[in-house]
A and B are shown apart, each in its own frame.
Chain A
Amino acid sequence: MNKQNTPFVNQEHNTVKNNLTIAVAGNPNSGKSTLINAIAGSRLQVGNWPGVTVEKKSASFDFQGRKITLVDLPGTYSMSPYTQEEVIARDYLVREKPDVIINVVDATNLERNLYFSLQLLELGIPLVMALNMHDEAAGKGFRIDEEKMASILGCAVIPTVATKGEGIGRLMETAVAFADASEAHRPVVISYGDDIEKAALTIEKSLKDHPDILAGHLPLRWMALKMIEGDARAIENYKTAQYAAVAENATHHLRSAHGEDLEALMADTRYGLAAGLTREALQKPETRKRELTEQIDAVVLNRYAGIPIFLLAMWLMFKLTFDIAGPFTAWLDGVIGGPLSRWAEIFLTAISAPEWITSLVMEGIIAGVGAVLVFLPPIFAMMFFITLLEASGYMARAAFVMDRMMHAIGLHGKSFIPLLLGFGCNVPAVYATRTLENQRDKALTALLIPLMSCGARLPVYVIFTGVFFAAYAGTVLWSLYILGIVLAVLMGLLFKKTLFRGEAPVFIMELPPYRMPTAKNLMIHTWEKGKHYLIKAGTWILAISVFVWFGLNMPWGVESKKDSYLGKTGQIIAPVFAPLGFGTWEAASSLLTGVVAKEIVVSTMSEVYVPEAGEEQQEEAPSFGENVKEIGVSFAGAFVEAGKNVFSTFGIATMSAEEEEGTTGLKTAIAKVFTPLSAYAFMAFVLLYLPCFIVLVAMRDEFGTWKWAGVTIIYQCVLAWVVAFVIYQGGSLIGL
């Protein structure tokens, strides 16, 4: 962060530092997130770690007249990182040297948590342990001797209950006091036995002239131990490869004595110590009670009931996400399209703005703001439920139940949820991939999400099936959804063999105990995600909306859409679609605008096929008061609607599922230019070609690079073309 070149050995023992950096580290599921929320609350800032897409939470605030910067490190099991999150946590601790580490430890799962604590202590940074979920441990009949732990480890141990805010004040006071008296910090030094210690000393001697160690950026003993362990990533990251020969020499006889398994030996030592410490400090009741978690799992993970329960949970989540969000989306849509647009128009007329400015503001900017905002309700709802699933502990079970199936196509058990959400709307689905820890799993899942037919594609299907397949509309609709799923499986297999070749990530996952999520935690996560989307993605979406407006309306004053940049582009690319059965500029232009949002394909078609229908009838302009009233009443209406949706069991109200009004003219027009076969090819094309650009922006936002959005654009265009080609040409061949 803002710390520069803080000397490795703290030289400021006489002065009190005014700015303190406190890093919060701990195992996943240790309640770290709740603890951070309890300390920092609304002061928490969510961003990304530089260069990567892992969420970074930090907070700055005054405490006892000092400026404290609190940095939340991703959940970590070990200082030998396995996931990208863990690499970040380790690099931060090693390179940035926070003044104090708060190590959050799950008191109900002491041994494995202490294994990580012991590794943290090796960094030589003052450490305060938050012995969290103390109440839960007490409930199990655990008695933990904190003083004994503190004296053995050489750090402070403070019992906390983050969900209730207990012990938080004392924790912070101790952390600050520890930062001031860092000299007094004498952590336990793990002895790995004479042989390893001797080797460590030899390596330390030669490492001393390494520039990073000289500058205090790298703890000496820690690096020496990493070299003995043969931690390849550490050696590469910290550029100590040239010392490999020294390490090799120093550990030569060790390797011959212990085989190549020095790392196992060191892990054993640490676990031995963690186990010993647990025995010393923890008194457990003689007989272990069958815990609530096991009772729940007996049902939830039951051989026969497991899958039905999972499907029910997923159905509920899907339904609630989109049914709750739906009315609010409609409300936002109404407010932006109604009162807000009217006010803007009145204002623009009042200042006698040129016509093109009015058009730009109304159709470019306001429509763009609308495009940003309408996704906010489903993103809020999605994040709420994802957080709920994660915080309660069910997410891990969902992955456990589904892994076999998802693994078959190269995905992770947790991929199921983002893919499922994709049927409602691809945008929150892309954001939901954050539940996957591994970058490969995340990217692969995100690439397949656009093949899930979202609600916005439905209006296109509805029009075409209405015209050409009225007798068996349901079957045709279903076939499109199935087509998407089948292609997702095939593409998954293809990507697994090509783009994601190589080591597939494994599934080694903790099943944490079920816990009641706190309202505060849910609110903070949901709010932060929405805010992040508005700021990060919103800017892009707005810019692209304005760009699309240019395409549609420039050169200014064109009589027909055919002569706009969009129409001209449509004319140029139309031949590409000829082998697919719809090589007209009208179809091509509609597909181009469909990139804004797929349902727009329909409205563009209305405009280009039946231009006279596009003339809007002049409404009586409502007064200001009526406008305000409309906003309020419709908002209240949205609340009622959302509430009703929660309780109604029928009908999944996906966004924009209803057929657009006034499409009779369009229906007549497409009946003339499409055949049933080319109509089906067109629908398949709409299903498969690029997702709307909001999805692409979401991908960029989530991955911090345009790379995966780019891959999506290319593969989907190719796939859509090929599939539509096969449908049209194949169909023609067999005489359809």
Chain B
Amino acid sequence: MTLADLKTGESGKIVKIQLSGALKRRLMDMGVVAGTDVIVEKVAPLGDPIEVRIKSYALSLRLGEARQIEVEEIKKS
């Protein structure tokens, strides 16, 4: 599943970024690296982009990019 599939309040662990080049580089620089936990905080009022919490800060990105970020859902215990 991808980051775009997570609903508000759900969290996951990043597995892989399915992008390449500068875009991937930037995402990694912003902390989107494999093994990192991410939680979807909000969806913008018009449905896109989304806000996620990662490395204890808030990052926003479009669904287009979120679809390229593979995650593994973390079920709430």
Contacts of A510 in B (CB 8 A): 30, 57-60
Task: Give A65-121 interface residues, CB cut-off 8 Å to B.
Answer: 77-78, 80, 82, 109, 111-112, 115
Contact yes or no, B48 A404, CB < 8 A: yes
Residues of A within 8 A of B9 (CB): none
Q: Does B57 contact A112, Cβ atoms closer than 8 Å?
A: yes
Q: Is B7 an interface residue (CB 8 A)?
A: no
Q: Is A621 an interface residue (CB 8 A)?
A: no
Contact of A509 among B24, B41, B60 (CB under 8 A): B60
What's the interface size class on A, roughly? Answer: 35 or more
The count of residues in chain B whose C-beta lies closer than 8 Å to any C-beta of chain A is: 35
**Contacts of B46 on A, CB cut-off 8 Å?**
307, 401, 403-405
A306 CB-CB contact with B under 8 Å? yes
Q: Which residues of A are found within 8 Å of B49, using beta-carbon distances?
A: 400, 403-404, 507
Which residues of B, 4-55, contact A by the 8 Å Cβ criterion?
17, 22-31, 33-36, 41-49, 51, 55
A267 close to B28 (CB less than 8 A): yes
Known: A267-B33, A271-B33, A403-B49. A301 touches B55 (CB 8 A): no
Residues on the B chain within 8 Å of A400, using CB:
44, 49, 51, 60
Specify the main secondary structure of chain A where it touches its partner. Answer: helix
Chain A minimum-CB-distance residue to B36: A271
Q: Does A511 contact B (CB under 8 A)?
A: yes
- CB of A140, distance to nearest CB on chain B (Å): 10
Residue of B nearest to A106 (CB): B57
A506 to B24, CA, bound (A): 11
Q: Which residue of A lies closest to B65 (CB)?
A: A506
Q: Does A204 contact B (CB under 8 A)?
A: no
Q: Which A residues are in CB contact (< 8 Å) with B23?
A: 506
Q: Closest residue to A83 on the B side, CB-wise?
A: B26
Known contacts A301-B45, A307-B45, A407-B62: A268-B30 contact under CB 8 Å: no
B74 interface residue, CB < 8 Å from A? Answer: no
A507 to B59 alpha-carbon distance, docked (Å)? 10
The interface residues of chain A lying within 8 Å CB-to-CB of B51 are 301, 400, 511
Kindly state whether residue B77 has any CB partner on chain A within 8 Å. Answer: no
Inter-chain contacts of B65 with A (CB < 8 A) = 506-508
Distance of A506 Cα from B64 Cα, bound (Å)? 9
Contact between chains at B25 and A403 (CB < 8 Å): no
CB distance from A192 to the nearest CB of B (A): 15
Whether A248 sits at the interface, judged by CB under 8 Å, is: no
Residue A501 is within 8 A (CB to CB) of chain B in the complex:
no
Establish whether residues A401 and B28, one from each chain, have CB atoms under 8 Å apart when the complex forms.
no
Q: Is the CB of A508 within 8 A of B26?
A: yes
**A110: nearest residue on chain B (CB-CB)?**
B56
A271 touches B60 (CB 8 A): no
A95 to B5, CA, bound (A): 44
**Residues 263-288 (chain A) with a chain B CB within 8 angstroms:** 263-264, 267-268, 271
Q: Is B1 an interface residue (CB 8 A)?
A: no
Q: Does A303 contact B (CB under 8 A)?
A: yes
Minimum distance in angstroms from B55 CB to a CB of chain A: 5
Given known A405-B46, A511-B59, contact A268–B31 (CB-CB < 8 A): no
- Chain B contacts of A472 at CB under 8 A? none
B48 contacts across to A, CB distance below 8 A: 403-404, 407
A77 touches B56 (CB 8 A): no
Q: Does A396 contact B (CB under 8 A)?
A: yes
* Cα–Cα, bound, A564→B25 (Å): 61
Contact with B along A379-407 (1 / 0, CB 8 A): 00000000000000000100011011101
Extra inter-chain contacts (11) besides given A263-B24, A506-B23, A507-B61, CB under 8 Å: A78-B25, A82-B29, A109-B55, A109-B56, A111-B55, A263-B28, A264-B24, A301-B45, A400-B44, A404-B49, A509-B59
Name B residues whose Cβ lies closer than 8 Å to a Cβ of A. 17, 22-31, 33-36, 41-49, 51, 55-62, 64-65
